[in-house]
């Protein structure tokens, strides 16, 4: 693994000794906070919390840091052609002088590796653990975090004073429901969990026009790929929901250049993707129903796939948190400062931002505000709760216009000063 040594970083880089080391993530104290996700925002939140004296435990489904940047090319063979949006520099861990101000691909992942190593963050993360539920503990101020070991299936629940949701807002694939689907005995997975090299030669049905790259990769690997249009009841009524395709780097590019998939419309049920001998993808109409081993379509045809992949868009939120707890309004969390939910003072969000997950500077300053707030909750709870009530009172009844990056930075600086007074 790469380390910080040997890289000519700027002198403002924060020494690792300034970050407080904490107990093992397997035995967290009740005063600890949980951080869900180990990408840009998850790592920044872990570092900031520990630096300001709050013990923190990370949860990450994958087995390494990097979040949406951890997308091996063997899994996504089209990523090289599509590219990925660049990331910027953390203020306290500048990019090497030999690199440009923004980097992408392997350089971005290597940078996050070095950041995690420099601040000793890996030892605080439960890798291979998917969070499946977060809920309030009755008559206490704690939050219960339940996770599943992705290897053994073991389920554990731990209790924390606060939780940072740091997985981004385009992370969780939406699902579709069809008659008989519960009786289907073959795997059904969201597009975000598909790995091309895990199913060589398989017969794969992809549902949702945005799953075209999935189907193409199956066909290119020697498998049989069907691409079906989604049902009209899937709720994917807008362009963002349609673009629920695999890795976030591809999602970001397609979101700004839908011409790359010229036959994708704003309603996935309105057009059948083309099938041709060149791509090897076989087009299908709308799915009608499932049984134990087969999928039937509106035109009366039937197939027997080994695997079904759902590409129906992304959930604008966090499926393991109840909507009421997250203050969901009109289908999206309504958050003060893009961070705080009025429903629980210990539940915060990092990464619900207009500039995407590559803005390390904004992630840093947002995380520092969260960390100062967490410290105030621990040492001066009345002041922290007063701050929380104040910012949440400013929330409108409906989602406001997305604030600019500049206005967020200005507001976060004012809020950090306010918490220190």
- Do domains 16-172+315-420 and 181-310 share one topology? The answer is yes
| pLDDT classification of 101: cutoffs 50, 70, 90 | confident
For residue 400, what pLDDT is reported? 65
Handedness of CA 103, 107, 113, 115 (dihedral sign): negative
pLDDT-based confidence at residue 333 (cuts at 50, 70, 90): confident
- Segment 144-151 mean pLDDT: 92
Query: Measured between alpha carbons, how far is 137 from 134 in angstroms, rounded to an integer?
Result: 10
Q: What is the pLDDT of residue 255?
A: 34
Q: For 225, phi and psi rounded to 5 degrees?
A: -120, 125
Say how far apart CA 363 and CA 350 lie, in whole Å: 7
Q: Is residue 354 scored above 70 in pLDDT?
A: no
Q: What pLDDT does residue 10 have?
A: 32
Lowest mean pLDDT among 35-44, 128-137, 155-164, 391-400: 391-400
Of 299-303, 369-373, 406-410, the least confident:
406-410
Is 2's pLDDT higher than 90? no
Tell me the per-residue pLDDT of 153-172, one tens digit each, with 9 for 90 and over.
899 999 999 999 998 755 55
Q: How many whole angstroms separate alpha carbon 151 and alpha carbon 168?
A: 24
CA distance 248 to 16: 30
Task: Tell me the average pLDDT across 10-23.
Answer: 38
Q: Alpha-carbon distance 119 to 149, whole Å?
A: 25
Distance CA 180, CA 159 (A): 38
- For tokens 């004012």, name the residue: 414
pLDDT tens digits for 164-195? 999 875 555 566 789 999 999 998 887 767 77
Q: What is the spatial distance between Cα 143 and Cα 168, in angstroms, rounded to a whole number?
A: 20
pLDDT on residue 330: 77
What percentage of the chain exceeds 70 in pLDDT? Answer: 71
Give the confidence band of 18 by pLDDT, cuts at 50, 70, 90. very low
**Whole-number average pLDDT of the chain:** 77
Q: What is the CA radius of gyration of the chain?
A: 22
Residue spans of the domains in the chain: they are 16-172+315-420, 181-310
What pLDDT is recorded for position 171?
A: 55
Of the listed ranges 25-34, 95-104, 388-397, the least confidently predicted one is 95-104
Q: Is the dihedral of CA 399, 401, 404, 408 positive or negative?
A: negative
pLDDT digits (tens, 9 = 90+) for 231-246: 433 333 333 333 333 3
Higher per-residue pLDDT: 134 or 89 = 134
| Range 16-172+315-420 has CATH code 3.50.50.60 | yes
**Pair type for strands 328-329 and 332-333:** antiparallel
In whole angstroms, give the CA distance from residue 137 to residue 287: 41
Of 65, 49, 67, whose CA–CA distance to 358 is shortest? 67
CA distance 161 to 56: 10
- Identify the pLDDT of residue 84: 41
Tell me the CATH class for 181-310: alpha beta
The answer on pLDDT for 222 being more than 50 is: yes
HEC secondary structure over the chain: CCCCCCCCCCCCCCCHHHCCCCCCCCCCCCCCEEEECCCHHHHHHHHHHHHCCCCEEEEECCCCCCHHHCCCCCCCCCHHHHCCCCECCECCECCCCCCCCCECHHHHHHHHHHHHHHCCCHHHEEECEEEEEEEECCCCCCEEEEEEECCCCCEEEEEECEEEECCCCCCCECCCCCCCHHHCCCCEEEHHHCCHHHCCCCEEEEECHHHHHHHHHHHHCCCEEEEECCCHHHCCCCHHHHCCCCCHHHHHHHHHCHHHCCCCCCCHHHCCCCCCCCCCEEEECCEEEECCCCEEECCCCEECCCEEEECCCECCCCCCECHHHHCEECCEECCECCCECCCCCCEEECCCCCCCCCCHHHHHHHHHHHHHHHHHHHHCHHHHHHHHHHHHHCCCCCCCCCCCHHHHHHHHHHHHHHHHC
Beta bridge partners of 35: 58, 164
- Asked whether 348 and 341 are in contact (CB, 8 A), the reply is yes
The 10s digit of each residue's pLDDT in 102-129 is 777 778 888 999 999 999 999 999 999 9
């Amino acid at each position: 693994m790469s380390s910080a040594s040997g890289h000519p970083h700027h002198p403002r880089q924060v020494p690792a000794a300034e970050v407080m080391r904490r107990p093992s993530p397997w035995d967290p104290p009740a005063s600890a906070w949980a951080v869900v996700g180990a990408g840009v925002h998850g790592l920044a939140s872990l570092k900031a919390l520990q630096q300001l004296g709050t013990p923190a435990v990370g949860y990450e489904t994958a087995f390494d840091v990097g979040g949406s940047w951890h997308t091996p090319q063997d899994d996504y063979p089209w990523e090289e052609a599509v590219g990925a949006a660049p990331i910027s520099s953390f203020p306290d861990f500048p990019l090497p002088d030999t690199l440009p101000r923004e980097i992408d691909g392997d350089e971005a992942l290597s940078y996050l590796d070095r950041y995690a190593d420099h601040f000793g963050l890996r030892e605080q993360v439960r890798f291979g653990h998917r969070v499946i539920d977060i809920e309030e503990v009755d008559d206490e101020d704690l939050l219960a975090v339940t996770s599943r070991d992705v290897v053994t299936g073991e389920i554990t629940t731990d209790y924390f004073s606060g939780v940072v949701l740091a997985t981004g807002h385009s992370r969780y694939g939406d699902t579709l429901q069809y008659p008989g689907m519960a009786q289907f005995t073959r795997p059904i997975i969201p597009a975000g969990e598909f790995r091309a090299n895990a199913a060589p030669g398989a017969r794969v049905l992809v549902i949702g026009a945005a799953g075209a790259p999935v189907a193409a990769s199956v066909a290119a690997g020697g498998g049989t790929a069907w691409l079906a249009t989604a049902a009209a009841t899937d709720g994917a009524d807008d362009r963002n929901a349609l673009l629920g395709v695999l890795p976030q780097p591809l999602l970001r590019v397609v979101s700004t250049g839908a011409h790359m998939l010229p036959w994708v419309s704003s309603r996935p049920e309105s057009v059948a993707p083309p099938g041709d001998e060149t791509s090897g993808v076989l087009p299908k109409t709308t799915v009608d129903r499932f049984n134990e081993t087969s999928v039937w379509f509106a035109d009366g045809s039937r197939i027997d796939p080994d695997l079904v992949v759902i590409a129906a868009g992304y959930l604008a939120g966090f499926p393991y948190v109840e909507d009421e707890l997250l203050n969901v309004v009109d289908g999206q969390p309504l958050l003060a400062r893009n961070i705080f939910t009025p429903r629980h003072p210990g539940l915060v969000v990092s990464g619900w931002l207009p500039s995407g997950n590559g803005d390390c500077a904004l992630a840093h300053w947002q995380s520092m505000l969260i960390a100062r707030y967490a410290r105030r909750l621990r040492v001066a709870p009345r002041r922290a709760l007063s701050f929380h009530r104040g910012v949440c009172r400013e929330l409108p009844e409906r989602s406001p216009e997305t604030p600019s990056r500049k206005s967020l930075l200005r507001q976060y600086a004012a809020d950090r000063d306010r918490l220190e007074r």
